[in-house]
Amino acid sequence: MPQRILICTAQVPFARGGAELLVEGLRDALRERGYVVDVVALPYAWQPHDRLMSSALAWRLLDLERVNGAPVDQIICTKFPSYAARHARKVVWLVHQHRQAYDWYGTPLSDFANTPEDRAIRDQLLRMDRATLGEAQRLFAISQNVAARLKRFVGLEAQPLYPPSRYAGRLRAGPYGDYLLSDARLDAAKRLDLLIHALARTRQPVRCVFIGAGDDRTRLERLAADLNLGARVVFRGFVSDDELIDLYTSARAVYYAPFDEDYGFTAVQALAAARPVITTTDSGGVREFVADGVTGLVAPPEPDAIAAQIDAIFEDAALAARLGAAGPTRVADITWDRVIRALLLQ
């Protein structure tokens, strides 16, 4: 009889990103291999902050050992706070903790203030994470970066286990075209304003195609207009899978430079399509794949420095081709077979 597996994840209503793609990819890969799999997704809210612990408690109260009288053989927990769920055979593949209370704490990216109330909730989160992540039979993280944060803040060791892109096997190399591609959610943490400022400083009139959606779109469009970039900047919004693959295939390069990213599907996809990646020294998980002068170009997070890297790629097609050619080998061993062997308990 095939194993029955539940994948646990938290879902912010009306939001969709890399974590959702990871869960869907894992579900589909397990089903293709004959397992009986479903996803348990609970909504959660981070404001006001006392709702964070309520969201974790909701997971704690679930009975996931049996469903409709039949046993569940294993659960796989992913992003905060789904790993608060209880099960005798719990495995965690950690996407991230609640970063506002961890590495973002004390920065403009965090909504936690230095108040007695917020400090108390942060302490509760730390204690909860130590206890509930410590219960796991196996503990993985989606990158070395996420594993390092876990060790730093909670004191637990996790093994890095890279998730494949949903487009694995479909991305292909094509000609090195005349545009830069940005495939990132349009919000502040992705730092697309850095790219727009850099485009205004390039020697070449480089055109950039932005795909994706987000709350920051209006601000970014206004910034591009204020810098008189005109038709050099195109916001396409969401595109179909076929369009996305075509855009990767013909781009000269891909820009992806979020701040301290957990993982970076965009970088993995770019390398699979033999596109060089332009990123920054502080982009986190992206740097696990992008080495300066090997699979892409790395600059300090400053517009002038990024502009120089863009110019280098667009003034030298041979450089783009050399860097791009190294990409597919770098990500070739990121496969669902490897992930599933690691996650499944015998």
Looking at 104, 129, 161, which one is the last position of a domain? 161
Confidence band for 294, pLDDT divided at 50, 70 and 90: very high
Looking at 113, 130, 161, which one is the last position of a domain? 161
- Does residue 87 sit within a domain? yes
Could you give the number of structural domains in the chain?
Answer: 2
pLDDT value at 1 more than 80: no
Name, of 49-53, 165-169, 257-261, the range with top average pLDDT. 257-261
Q: What is the pLDDT of residue 76?
A: 98
Q: What is the pLDDT of residue 341?
A: 96
pLDDT value at 189 more than 90: no
Q: How far apart are CA 224 and CA 232, in angstroms?
A: 9
For residue 81, is it left (φ>0), alpha (ψ between -120 and 50) or beta? Answer: alpha
Domain with 307, as residue range(s), is 179-330
DSSP-derived letter for residue 106 is T
- Does residue 136 sit within a domain? yes
Same domain assignment for residues 100 and 240: no
Q: How far apart are CA 40 and CA 30, in angstroms?
A: 15
Confidence band for 104, pLDDT divided at 50, 70 and 90: confident
CATH (domain of 118): 3.40.50
- Does residue 321 sit within a domain? yes
Same domain assignment for residues 219 and 139: no
pLDDT value at 273 more than 90: yes
- Does residue 79 sit within a domain? yes
CB 242 within 8 A of CB 305: no
Q: What is the pLDDT of residue 323?
A: 98
pLDDT value at 181 more than 90: yes
CB 213 within 8 A of CB 186: yes
CATH (domain of 275): 3.40.50.2000
Q: What is the pLDDT of residue 12?
A: 75
Predicted model pTM: 0.90
- Does residue 315 sit within a domain? yes
Same domain assignment for residues 142 and 239: no
Looking at 161, 190, 212, which one is the last position of a domain? 161
In tens, the pLDDT along 89-98 reads 999 999 988 8
